[in-house]
Amino acid sequence: MRAELLAVGDELLYGDIVNGNAAWLGRQLADVGVDVATSTVVGDDVETIATAIRVALDRTDAVVLTGGLGPTQDDLTREGIAAAAGVRLRRDATLETHLRDRYQAVGRTGRTLPAMNFRQADLPDGATPLPNPAGSAPGVRMEIGAGVVYAMPGVPFEMTAMFTESVLPDLLRRAGQPAVVVHRVLRTAGMWESMVAEALAAEVSRLAPIGNPRIAFLVSGGQTRVRITARARDRAAAEVLIAPVEAAARAALGSGVYGGDEDSLEGVVLGMLGERGATLAVAESLTGGLLAGRLTEVPGASAVFRGGVVSYATEVKASALGVDTDLLALEGAVSARTAAAMAAGVRERLGADYGLSTTGVAGPAEQEGKPVGTVHLGLAGPDGTITRSVRLPGDRPRVRTNAVVTALDLLRRTLAGLPDGELVTGGEGGAGGSRD
């Protein structure tokens, strides 16, 4: 079965609200084997809604619609469905009574329900109401030609309850016995999306004529995830399909893969330290505590993580971390040697086995004559101190986020004993490194 997602609301078009419903629904439908072909957002206009529904039903089996079911004048989804079907709206007496009873039940005894609220009792002729266990606005199920439209409220907790209890069971009934869908996620760091895609190009090409399993690339937070999806009659059969594709992907990506499924880079790094009985301290400049924040999000981090120093001002690098003032005067706060001194200083002062540091230029303006995106990392450990110098793309938030990921990946690769040359990061500006 193929479905399309349709969200209604001017507030979504104007960016006042992010369409999180589409992301949630996409995951739910994919997990039960329903192909989501398109996701569309339209404004509060009857004919626009109707046209979007007609177009969607010309190419898919079902339209899953959210928003526009409230009581106000700009809630026009019911009218849009009626227009798409070529029918009139009718007032449903049962829904009208339900609305009145609900109004009285929530403590408004003796007060009159505003007439506008009864708009929620209107249904396109031939439609079936969907119960709303979490709110007042009922949903709508409407068969149009060979397809079906499900309309749900845009309020997320109302939508999720209605989808789970009414829409999903009806979809599965119409689809017959659905395939079991299994996802396997490989998580990479130190590789840009294009590098990951190039490494897996041969496997993607091999799978293209088959269509099952499929490979997708998901980029967020400075990392690239590889999602392998397989469908089969049961989970065991899907796992059999995934296994050789996963093996090929791991072989192609090599040390770029740090984990899978629900793993996090910080969790993997802390686990590696814990296995060695080692501890970590961090010294941050441009990341301003983001690195320590990521580490302390992991339950049990206190067994490994000693703490951190946010040495944002240049003089704090000297006073708090012991970075030589002559070095700071000569090379400034943004240099590989400063990063090395920061890492060594925090390691010594916090009594950790490893010290990890970040310094650089997050933007929006250059600093000390260094361009935006210049980042230097230092890692001090039992075997000495190493540094990495990278040029990271993007705006200020992206540079800071990517700096955290690059620092954690430097530590991961060092703990794993990977050769220095395997650190692939830095984008157009390239990457460099040295060992002190």
Q: DSSP characters for 145-205?
A: TTEEEEEE-SSHHHHHHHIIIIIHHHHHHHH-SPPEEEEEEEEE-S--HHHHHHHTHHHHH
Q: CA nearest 270: which of 403, 412, 405? A: 412
**C-alpha pair distances (Å), 14 with each of 4, 9, 11, 104:** 21, 9, 5, 36
Maximum alpha-carbon separation in the chain? 84
Q: What is the distance between the alpha carbons of residues 373 and 395, in angstroms, rounded to a whole number? A: 8
Q: What is the distance between the alpha carbons of residues 339 and 366, in angstroms, rounded to a whole number? A: 18
Cis peptide before 397 (omega within 30 of 0): no
3-state secondary structure of 321: coil
Domain 265-435 belongs to what topology?
Maf protein (3.90.950)
In tens, the pLDDT along 36-78 reads 989 999 999 999 999 999 999 999 999 999 999 999 999 999 9
pLDDT at 425: 36
On whether the CB atoms of residues 154 and 67 are closer than 8 A, the answer is: yes
Identify the bridge partners of residue 184 per DSSP, sorted by sequence position: 228
pLDDT at 113: 72
Which segments of the chain have a pLDDT < 50?
421-432, 435-436
Q: What is the distance between the alpha carbons of residues 240 and 233, in angstroms, rounded to a whole number? A: 11
**Interstrand relation of 305-310 and 280-284 (parallel, antiparallel or unpaired):** parallel
The angle at the Cα of 346, spanning 344 to 348, to the nearest 5 degrees, equals 70
Domain 180-260 belongs to what topology?
Alpha-Beta Plaits (3.30.70)
pLDDT at 419: 61
Number of Cβ within 10 Å of residue 320's Cβ equals: 17
pLDDT at 100: 81
Whose tokens are 């001194």? That residue is 341
| E strand or H helix that includes residue 270 | helix 265-276
Q: Is 381 buried (19+), middle (13-18) or exposed (0-12) by CB count in 10 A?
A: buried
pLDDT at 279: 98
Domain ranges of the chain: 2-175, 180-260, 265-435
390 alpha-carbon distance from chain centroid: 25
Identify the bridge partners of residue 288 per DSSP, sorted by sequence position: none
pLDDT at 430: 38
Q: Which two tokens stand for residue 179?
A: 């395939």
CA gyration radius for the chain? 28
pTM given for the model = 0.74
Q: CA nearest 281: which of 359, 375, 360, 344? A: 344
pLDDT at 427: 34
Query: Does 2-175 carry CATH code 3.20.20.120?
Result: no
pLDDT at 396: 95
Q: Which two tokens stand for residue 79?
A: 């009218």
In tens, the pLDDT along 88-104 reads 999 989 988 888 887 77
Q: What is the distance between the alpha carbons of residues 249 and 226, in angstroms, rounded to a whole number? A: 9
CB half-sphere exposure, 270, CA atoms < 13 A: 22
In tens, the pLDDT along 369-379 reads 999 999 999 99
